[in-house]
C-alpha cells in the first residue's frame, strides 16, 4: 500500500501546485495597450526589416520624412515644408527644428542623409536600395544646413515621396558600426511617439510614451506588443482581453459580432489573389487558352465559398481601395461562361477526347501543374475549386503544394525559361500604385515578373505612370495600364480578401477602418478604464 | 566525431532548395537588392570554402550572426535556453514522478482493474495530439474557468519584480504547457515501466526473495525497481537533446519562448548560421547524454563495467 500512498501524495502535490498559483495579481495599468504582433520580429531597423512584426514596432519608434494618413495620402512628418523644382527633379526639404532623438540628441538633416546613404551602401543588407535608384542613377541627397536638405533625381519619379517615408536612423549612434549586426537593431532609438523599452525574446516588446515628442504626444503610457504566434491562442487571448486587438478569421466572425467586450471591424485591404501563367510555356502562349481558363472560373461563387462573402472578385491588378482604381471601368471582365470557354479552346485547336474527357492537340494533353505554397488554406482550397472548374471544360490541372522557400526559389530563380506552369499567389501592394516590378519586361528573368510578361505598351505605360506626378493624370495612365493588362490575361485575377479585426471596447480614438489600420495615428488612441 | 556531424549537417542543409535571400516575394522590394544581399552573405562562394570559413570562426568561438536578425548565434541560442530548460526539466521530473510509481503499481498488480483503466487511459492520452490537448486546456482552464493565462512566460508588468514574484508568475504560466507535455509523455513511459516490472517480477531471484519471506513492498521497491529502471536510463540518456531541443508544438500554442521556435524558424528561413549553431549544440549534448547514461548504468548495475 506504500505505493498507493506515494501516488496520492504525488497527485496531491500536483493539484496544490496547480491551485496554489492560480489567479495572479491584476497589474494592468490603465493606459497600457496590449497588442499581438503575431511573430518574433527579426530586426528593429526600418531600413533592414522585411517582416510585418518588425515594421509594426519600428512604425511606433521611428518617424519618416513623410507618413501615410488614413486616406492613404503621403503627408509630411519629420519634414515641415518641401518644394519641388519645375522639372520635378530637385526636392528641397525643410525639417522640423525641435525634434530630439529618444536619447536627447537633436535630430538634424545629417541623420536623413546618413539613412539614405546607408540604404544606397552596397554593404547594407537592405531590399530597399532600388527604391532610391531612379532611371539607373542613385538619388543624390545633400545637406544644405542643419535643417535643410535637397534630393536630386535623374528624372521625375512619382513614388519617390512614398519611398522616402521610411524611418530615419540616428547618425550619432550608427555611424561607426556595422549596421547589419549592430545591437542598435535590438534596442532601437528613434524620434517616434514611443520609446523602445524592452524586448523579451519570444514573449513581448514594451514601448513607453515619448515625453519629448515633437508634436502632441500619445495618450497611452505604454504599449505591450505580445508575440502570440498561434492564431487560435491569439483569438482566445483577445476574448479573454489579454490583448486588445487581433485578427478574426472569417469562420469565427459570427461568434464575435455580438460580443459585449469586442468591437469588430471589416475593411478592404491593398491585396489581391491571383493565378499566373508561365507565358513561356507553349500551352499558355496562346491567349485563347488563357481567356478560356478565365471564362471557366466562377469568381463570384469562389469568393463566396472561400472568403464567405468577405471580399470580392478581382479583375485587374489594383485594389478597389487604392486611388488608382478606375472610377469608370474600361477593363474587360471575364464572366463565368463555360460554353464560351469551350468555344475558345476549340478555336485554339484543343479538341475534347470523349474517353478521357481531356482536351488534346497533336496528341498532347491540355494538362498543367499549378504550384502554390503550403499552409495557406484559402489558397489550397481555391486551387481545388479551380481544378474542378477546369476539369468541366476539359483541362487537367494538377496541384502541387510547396514549402515556402522552395516555392519562391522555383519561381524567382533567375533562369529562362522558368521551371513551372502556373502559380497561385497574392500580392500585397504598396500605397503607391507603381507596379513596374511586377509587369515590366525588364523584370524578367530577374525580378517579380516571373511569368515573362512582355508588352511594350505596358512597359511604356508603366514608365509614364512613374514620371507623371499629378495624381489625376496618373490615374488616367493607370486606367489604360489596367485595361491593357486585363485584356492580355497574363494572370487570372481571383479575389480581394477583406480583413476583419477585433478591438477591445475599452480602446478609444480609433481611426476609420482601412488598409492603414485602426490606430492611425497612434497618438489618438487611448484606453477607457 | 563533431567535425563529421557538422560536415554532414552543413551538406544536408545546403541540399534543401532555396536560400535565405530567396524568401521575399514582395513587389515593393528590388530583385537586384536581393542578389546584392546574397553576395554580402558570401553565399556565392563555393560550398567547401563557405564551410571552412564557418569552421575557422567556430573554432575561435565565433558561431557567426543570424542572417535574418543580425544577432550573434550564441546569444540567440542562450536567450531561449532558460524557458526551454524550465519546461523540459520540470516535465521530465513530473513524468518520472508519475510514471514510475504507476508503472510499478500496475506492473505488480497486473490484469486487475486499475491496470486496465490506466492502460486504456494512457492509450487515449498517447493518441491525443499535443496541439489539440493544448487548445482544449486553454479553452477550459483559461477561457472557461479563468484559472490560468492563455499563453506567455512572464507577465510584462513583472519584468522588474523581485525574483520570487517572477518565479511564481513563470510557474503560473507554466501549468498549462507543462500539463500538455506531461499528458503526451507519460503514457509511453507507464507502458514501458509496466512491462519491465512484469518481466522482472517473474524472474527467479524475486521468487527466491519471496521465499525468504521478504515483504512484497520491499521486493518491489528494492529489487524490482532498480532493475526496471535500467531501460529507463537508456531512454533518458537519449532524450537529453530533446531537453534543449524544445517542443515546437507546445511552444507555438502557448507562446513559450523556447528553442523549438528558433530551430524551426531557422529551417524555414534557411538561416544557416543559426542552424549550424543548434546542430553543434545538440550534437555536443547527445555525446554528453550517452556518456551520462553509461555512467548511470554503472551506478545502478555494478555488473556493467
Residues A114 and A158 in one domain: yes
State whether A200 and B159 contact (CB < 8 Å): yes
CA distance A205 to chain B (A): 8
Kindly state whether residues B44 and B84 are assigned to the same domain: no
Residue A388, pLDDT above cutoff 60: yes
Encode pLDDT of B256-265 as tens digits. Answer: 888 888 888 8
Residue B153 covered by a domain? yes
Give DSSP secondary structure letters for A448-511.
S-TT----HHHHHHHHHHHH--SHHHHHHHHHHHHHHHHHH-SEEEEEEEEEEEEEETTEE-PP
- Per-residue pLDDT, A30: 63
Degrees to nearest 5, angle at CA A451 with A446 and A456: 85
Best probe of the B interface among A30, A36, A42, by most B CBs < 10 A, is: A42
Pairwise CB contact (< 8 Å): A229 & B252: yes
Q: Following DSSP, what letter does each residue of A366-407 receive, concatenated? A: -EEEEEEETT-HHHHHHHHHHHHHHHHTT-EEEEEEE-HHHH
Cα three-residue angle A222-A227-A228, rounded to 5 degrees: 125
- Check if the beta carbon of residue A493 is closer than 8 Å to that of residue A272: yes
* Sole residue written with cell 531561449: B80
CATH at residue A417? 3.10.105.10
Domain end point (choices A137, A168, A185): A185
The boundaries of the domain holding residue B220 are 73-304
Judge if A488 and A529 occupy the same domain. Answer: no
Tens of pLDDT, residue by residue over A188-230, are 999 999 999 999 988 999 999 999 999 999 999 999 999 998 8
Q: Is residue A217 part of a domain?
A: yes
- Distance, in Å, from the CA atom of A522 to the CA atom of A4, rounded to the nearest integer, reads 60
Same domain (yes/no): B14, B112: no
Q: Tell me if B156 and A242 make a contact (CB, 8 A cut-off).
A: no
- Element containing residue A288 per DSSP (H, E): helix A287-296
Position A9 scores a pLDDT of: 46
CB contact under 8 A, A131 and B30: yes
Give a yes or no: residue B66 inside a domain: no
Q: What is the mean pLDDT of residues B201-228?
A: 79
Does B235 reside within a domain?
A: yes
Report whether A209 contacts A220 (CB < 8 A): yes
**Do A150 and A215 fall within a single domain?**
no
Share of chain A above pLDDT 90, in %: 78
Report the pLDDT value the prediction gives residue A157, as an integer from 0 to 100: 94
Tell whether A182 is within 8 A of chain B (Cβ).
yes
B103, B48: one domain: no
Query: Least CB-CB distance to A130: which of B16, B30, B135?
Result: B30
Q: Based on the fold, state whether residues B163 and B45 are members of the same structural domain.
A: no
Residue B122 vs residue A452, higher pLDDT: A452
pTM given for the model: 0.84
For residues A55 and A37, what is the distance between their CA atoms, to the nearest angstrom? 10
Domain boundary among A142, A169, A185: A185
Is B67 part of any domain? Answer: no
* Whether residues A32 and A88 fall in one domain: no
What would the pLDDT profile of A417-453 be if each residue is shown by its tens digit?
Answer: 899 999 999 998 889 999 999 999 998 888 899 999 9
Domain C-terminal end among B59, B87, B102: B59
- In the β-sheet with A364-365, what is the strand arrangement from edge to edge? A351-353, A358-361, A364-365
Q: What pLDDT does residue B260 have? A: 82
Q: What's the rounded mean pLDDT across residues A307-336?
A: 93
Q: Taken in order B124, B126, B131, B137, is the CA torsion positive or negative?
A: positive
- Residue B172 scores a pLDDT above 60: yes
Query: What pLDDT shows up at residue B281?
Result: 82
Q: What is the pLDDT of residue B204?
A: 82
Query: Rounded to an integer, what distance in angstroms lies between the CA atom of residue B63 and that of residue A66?
Result: 39
Residue A47 CA to residue A68 CA, distance in Å, equals 17
- Evaluate whether residue A51 is within a structural domain: no
Is B111 within the bounds of a domain? Answer: yes
Q: Are residues B12 and B149 in the same domain?
A: no
Smallest CA–CA distance, residue B234 to chain A, in Å, is 24
Side-chain-side CA neighbours of A300 within 13 Å: the count stands at 6
With CA atoms as reference, the chain A residue closest to B135 would be A233
* pLDDT exceeds cutoff 90 at A326: yes
pLDDT at A458: 96
Predicted confidence (pLDDT) per residue in B14-64, tens digit: 887 777 777 777 777 777 788 888 888 888 888 888 888 888 888 888 888
Q: What is the mean pLDDT of residues A83-103?
A: 95
Q: What is the CA radius of gyration of chain A?
A: 27
- A4: which 3 cell numbers? 498507493
Q: Does A26 touch chain B (CB under 8 A)?
A: no
CB A258 within 8 A of CB A265: no
The number of folded domains in chain B is: 2
State whether B226 and B269 are in the same domain.
yes
CATH assignment of the domain containing B131: 1.10.3720.10
Residue predicted with more confidence, B236 or B59: B59
Q: What is the pLDDT of residues B250-295, one digit of tens each?
A: 888 888 888 888 888 888 888 888 988 888 888 887 788 788 878 8
CB contact under 8 A, A201 and B257: yes
Helix, strand and coil content of chain B, in percent to the nearest 5, comes to 75, 0, 25
Helix (H) or strand (E) holding A263: strand A262-268
Instruction: Check residue A447 and give its pLDDT.
Output: 84
Closest CB from A50, A203, A405 relative to B152 = A203
- B37 found inside a domain: yes
DSSP state for residue A140 in the 8-state scheme: E
Distance of CA A162 to the CA centre of its chain: 15
Based on the fold, state whether residues A457 and A481 are members of the same structural domain: yes
Q: Give me chain B's average pLDDT, please.
A: 83
Q: Does residue A50 fall inside a structural domain?
A: no
Q: The domain that contains A142 carries what CATH number?
A: 3.90.76.10
Q: How many residues does chain B have?
A: 305
Point out the least confidently predicted range of A4-18, A217-231, B70-84: A4-18
A255 and A324 assigned to the same domain: no
Q: C-alpha cell of A424?
A: 497561385
- Percent of chain A as helix, strand, coil, to the nearest 5: 35, 25, 45
Does one domain contain both B31 and B140? no
Q: State the Cα–Cα distance between residues A218 and A506, nearest whole angstrom.
A: 16
Highest mean pLDDT among A1-10, A260-269, B95-104: A260-269
Rounded CA-CA distance A318/A331 in Å is 12
Whether the per-residue pLDDT at A394 is higher than 50: the answer is yes
Q: Do B108 and B198 fall within a single domain?
A: yes
Helix (H) or strand (E) run with residue B187 in it: helix B163-201
Distance CA A54, CA A41 (A): 4
pLDDT band at A498; cut points 50, 70, 90: very high
Question: Residue B120 — pLDDT band, cuts 50, 70, 90?
Answer: confident
My answer on whether omega of the bond before A417 falls inside 30° of 0, hence cis, is yes
If asked whether residues B162 and B274 sit together in one domain, one would say yes
**Beta carbons of B101 and A3 less than 8 Å apart:** yes
Examine the domain organization and report whether A206 and A355 are in the same domain: no
**Domain-embedded: residue A313:** yes
* Same structural domain, A351 and A255: no
Do A369 and A396 belong to one domain?
yes
From A117, A150, A185, the end of a domain falls on: A185
Rounded Cα distance between A53 and A56, Å, is: 5
Best of B62, B69, B112 to mutate (most A CBs within 10 Å, chain A): B69
B31, A443: Cβ pair inside 8 Å? yes
Task: Examine the domain organization and report whether B55 and B137 are in the same domain.
Answer: no
Determine the pLDDT at residue A297: 96
Q: For residues A93 and A109, give the distance between their C-alpha atoms in angstroms, rounded to a whole number.
A: 9
Q: Single out the residue of B151, B147, B150, B153 nearest to residue B171, CA to CA.
A: B153
Judge if B25 and B79 occupy the same domain. Answer: no
Contact A231/B255 with Cβ under 8 angstroms? no
Cα dihedral sign, A174-A177-A179-A183: negative
Q: Which of B84, B255, B257 to mutate to test the interface with A (most CBs of A within 10 A)?
A: B255
Please report how many Cα atoms fall inside a 13 Å half-sphere around the Cα of residue B167, on the Cβ side.
Answer: 4
- Is B238 within the bounds of a domain? yes
A177 within a domain of the structure (yes/no): yes
Q: How many CB pairs lie under 8 A apart between chains A and B?
A: 216
Contacts with A129 from chain B: Cβ below 8 Å? 30, 32-33, 36
What is the model's pLDDT at position A22?
A: 38
Summarised one tens digit per residue, pLDDT across range A142-185 is 999 999 999 999 999 999 999 999 999 999 999 999 999 999 99
Cell of A299: 469568381
Range of the domain at A93: 63-185
Assess whether pLDDT exceeds 90 at residue B105.
no
Residue A152, Cα to own-chain centre: how many angstroms? Answer: 29
* Residue A459 maps to a domain: yes
State the Cα–Cα distance between residues A287 and A300, nearest whole angstrom.
23
Q: How confident is the model at residue B246 (pLDDT cuts 50, 70, 90)?
A: low
**The pLDDT of residue A29 is above 60:** no
> For residue B58, how many C-alpha atoms fall within 13 Å in the half-sphere facing its CB?
19
* Nearest CA distance, B115 vs chain A (angstrom): 13
Contact A181, B70 (CB under 8 A): yes
**Which residues of chain A from 380 to 439 reach within 8 Å of chain B, CB to CB?**
403-406, 408-414, 425, 427-430, 435, 437-438
Q: For residue A404, which of B88, B13, B136, B18 has the smallest C-alpha distance? A: B18
State how far residue B135 is from chain A, nearest Cα, in angstroms.
7
Cβ neighbors of B238 (< 8 A, separation 6 or more) are B289, B290, B293
Best residue in B16, B24, B30, B259 to probe A by mutation, most A CBs within 10 Å?
A: B30
In angstroms, rounded to a whole number, what is the distance separating the alpha carbons of residues B255 and A226?
9
Q: Which residues of B touch A466 (CB under 8 A)?
A: none
CATH number at residue A231: 3.40.190.10
What is d(CA A113, CA A107) in angstroms, rounded to the nearest whole number? 12
Q: Provide the number of structural domains found in chain A.
A: 3
Could you tell me if B77 and B222 lie in one domain? Answer: yes
Query: Helices B130-137 and B163-201, interaxial angle, to 10°?
Result: 130
Q: Is A442 on the interface with B (CB under 8 A)?
A: no
For residues A517 and A487, state if they share a domain.
no
CB pair distance less than 8 Å for A228 and B151: yes
Euclidean distance between CA atoms B106 and B190, whole angstroms: 9
Q: Using a CB-CB distance cutoff of 8 angstroms, which residues of chain A are in contact with residue B83?
A: 202
**Average confidence score pLDDT of chain A:** 90
Q: Are residues A130 and A223 in the same domain?
A: no
Does A322 lie in the same domain as A237? no
Q: Are B6 and A406 spatial neighbours (Cβ–Cβ below 8 Å)?
A: no
Distance in angstroms (rounded) separating the CA atoms of residues B234 and A103 = 55
Is A107:A95 a contact under the CB 8 Å cutoff?
Answer: yes
Q: Does residue B64 lie within any of the structural domains?
A: no
pLDDT of residue A385: 95
Amino acid at each position: 500500500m506504500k505505493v498507493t500512498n506515494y501516488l496520492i501524495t504525488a497527485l496531491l502535490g500536483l493539484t496544490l501546485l496547480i491551485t496554489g498559483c492560480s489567479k495572479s495579481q491584476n497589474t494592468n495599468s490603465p493606459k497600457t495597450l496590449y497588442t499581438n504582433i503575431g511573430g518574433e520580429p527579426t530586426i528593429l531597423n526600418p531600413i533592414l526589416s522585411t517582416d510585418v512584426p518588425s515594421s509594426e514596432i519600428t512604425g511606433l519608434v521611428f518617424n519618416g520624412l513623410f507618413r501615410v494618413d488614413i486616406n492613404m495620402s503621403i503627408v509630411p512628418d519629420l519634414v515641415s515644408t518641401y518644394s519641388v523644382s519645375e522639372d520635378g527633379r530637385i526636392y528641397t526639404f525643410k525639417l522640423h527644428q525641435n525634434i530630439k532623438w529618444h536619447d536627447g540628441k537633436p535630430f538634424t538633416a545629417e541623420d536623413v542623409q546618413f539613412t539614405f546613404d546607408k540604404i544606397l551602401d552596397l554593404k547594407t543588407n537592405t531590399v530597399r536600395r532600388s527604391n532610391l535608384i531612379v532611371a539607373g542613377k542613385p538619388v543624390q541627397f545633400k545637406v544644405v544646413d542643419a535643417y535643410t536638405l535637397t534630393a536630386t533625381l535623374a528624372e521625375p519619379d512619382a513614388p519617390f515621396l512614398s519611398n522616402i517615408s521610411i524611418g530615419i536612423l540616428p547618425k550619432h549612434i550608427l555611424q561607426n558600426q556595422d549596421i547589419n549586426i549592430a545591437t542598435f537593431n535590438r534596442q532601437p532609438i528613434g524620434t517616434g511617439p514611443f520609446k523602445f523599452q524592452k524586448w523579451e525574446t519570444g514573449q513581448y516588446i514594451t514601448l513607453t510614451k515619448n515625453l519629448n515628442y515633437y508634436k502632441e504626444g500619445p495618450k497611452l503610457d505604454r504599449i505591450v506588443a505580445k508575440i502570440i504566434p498561434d492564431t487560435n491562442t491569439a483569438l482566445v487571448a483577445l476574448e479573454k482581453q489579454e490583448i486588445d486587438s487581433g485578427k478574426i478569421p472569417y469562420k469565427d466572425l459570427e461568434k464575435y459580432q455580438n460580443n459585449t467586450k469586442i468591437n469588430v471591424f471589416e475593411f478592404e485591404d491593398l491585396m489581391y489573389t491571383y493565378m499566373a501563367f508561365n507565358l513561356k510555356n507553349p500551352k499558355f502562349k496562346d491567349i485563347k487558352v488563357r481567356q478560356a481558363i478565365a471564362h471557366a472560373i466562377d469568381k463570384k461563387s469562389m469568393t463566396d465559398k472561400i472568403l464567405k462573402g468577405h471580399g470580392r472578385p478581382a479583375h485587374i491588378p489594383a485594389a478597389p481601395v487604392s486611388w488608382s482604381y478606375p472610377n469608370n471601368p474600361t477593363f474587360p471582365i471575364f464572366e463565368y461562361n463555360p460554353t464560351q470557354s469551350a468555344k475558345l479552346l476549340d478555336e485554339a485547336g484543343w479538341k475534347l477526347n470523349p474517353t478521357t474527357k481531356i482536351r488534346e492537340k497533336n496528341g498532347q494533353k491540355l494538362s498543367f501543374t499549378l504550384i502554390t505554397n503550403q499552409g495557406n488554406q484559402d489558397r489550397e482550397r481555391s486551387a481545388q475549386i479551380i481544378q474542378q472548374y477546369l476539369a468541366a471544360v476539359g483541362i487537367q490541372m494538377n496541384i502541387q503544394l510547396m514549402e515556402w522557400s522552395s516555392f519562391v526559389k522555383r519561381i524567382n530563380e533567375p533562369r529562362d525559361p522558368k521551371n513551372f506552369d502556373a502559380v497561385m499567389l497574392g500580392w500585397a501592394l504598396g500605397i503607391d500604385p507603381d507596379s513596374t516590378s511586377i509587369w515590366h519586361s525588364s523584370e524578367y528573368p530577374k525580378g517579380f515578373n516571373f511569368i515573362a510578361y512582355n508588352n511594350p505598351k505596358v512597359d511604356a505605360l508603366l514608365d509614364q505612370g512613374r514620371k507623371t506626378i499629378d495624381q489625376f493624370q496618373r490615374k488616367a495612365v493607370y486606367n489604360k495600364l489596367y485595361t491593357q493588362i486585363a485584356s492580355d490575361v497574363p494572370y487570372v485575377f481571383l479575389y480581394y480578401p477583406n480583413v476583419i479585426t477585433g478591438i477591445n471596447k475599452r480602446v478609444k480614438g480609433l481611426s476609420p477602418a482601412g488598409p492603414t489600420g485602426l490606430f492611425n495615428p497612434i497618438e489618438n488612441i487611448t484606453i477607457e478604464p | 566525431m563533431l567535425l563529421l556531424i557538422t560536415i554532414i549537417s552543413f551538406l544536408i542543409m545546403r541540399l534543401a532548395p532555396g536560400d535565405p535571400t530567396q524568401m521575399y516575394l514582395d513587389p515593393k522590394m528590388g530583385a537586384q537588392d536581393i542578389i546584392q544581399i546574397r553576395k554580402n552573405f558570401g553565399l556565392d562562394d563555393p560550398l567547401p570554402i563557405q564551410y571552412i570559413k564557418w569552421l575557422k570562426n567556430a573554432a575561435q568561438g565565433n558561431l557567426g550572426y543570424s542572417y535574418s536578425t543580425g544577432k550573434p548565434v550564441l546569444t540567440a541560442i542562450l536567450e531561449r535556453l532558460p524557458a526551454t530548460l524550465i519546461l523540459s526539466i520540470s516535465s521530465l521530473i513530473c513524468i518520472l514522478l508519475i510514471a514510475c510509481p504507476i508503472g510499478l503499481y500496475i506492473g505488480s498488480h497486473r490484469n486487475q482493474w486499475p491496470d486496465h483503466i490506466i492502460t486504456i487511459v494512457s492509450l487515449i492520452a498517447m493518441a491525443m495530439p499535443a496541439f489539440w490537448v493544448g487548445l482544449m486546456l486553454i479553452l477550459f482552464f483559461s477561457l472557461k474557468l479563468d484559472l490560468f493565462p492563455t499563453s506567455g512566460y512572464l507577465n510584462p508588468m513583472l519584468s522588474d519584480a523581485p525574483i520570487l514574484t517572477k518565479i511564481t508568475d513563470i510557474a503560473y504560466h507554466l501549468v498549462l504547457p507543462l500539463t500538455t507535455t506531461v499528458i503526451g509523455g507519460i503514457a509511453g513511459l507507464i507502458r514501458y515501466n509496466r512491462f519491465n516490472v512484469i518481466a522482472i517480477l517473474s524472474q527467479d531471484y524475486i521468487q527466491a526473495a519471496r521465499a525468504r519471506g521478504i515483504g512484497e513492498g520491499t521486493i518491489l521497491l528494492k529489487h524490482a525497481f532498480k532493475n526496471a529502471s535500467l531501460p529507463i536510463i537508456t531512454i533518458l540518456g537519449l532524450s537529453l537533446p530533446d531537453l534543449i531541443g524544445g517542443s515546437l508544438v507546445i511552444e507555438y500554442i502557448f507562446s513559450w519562448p523556447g528553442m523549438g521556435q528558433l530551430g524551426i524558424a531557422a529551417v524555414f528561413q534557411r538561416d544557416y548560421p543559426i542552424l549550424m549553431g543548434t546542430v553543434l549544440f545538440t550534437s555536443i549534448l547527445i555525446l554528453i547524454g550517452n556518456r551520462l547514461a553509461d555512467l548511470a548504468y554503472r551506478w545502478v548495475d555494478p555488473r556493467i563495467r
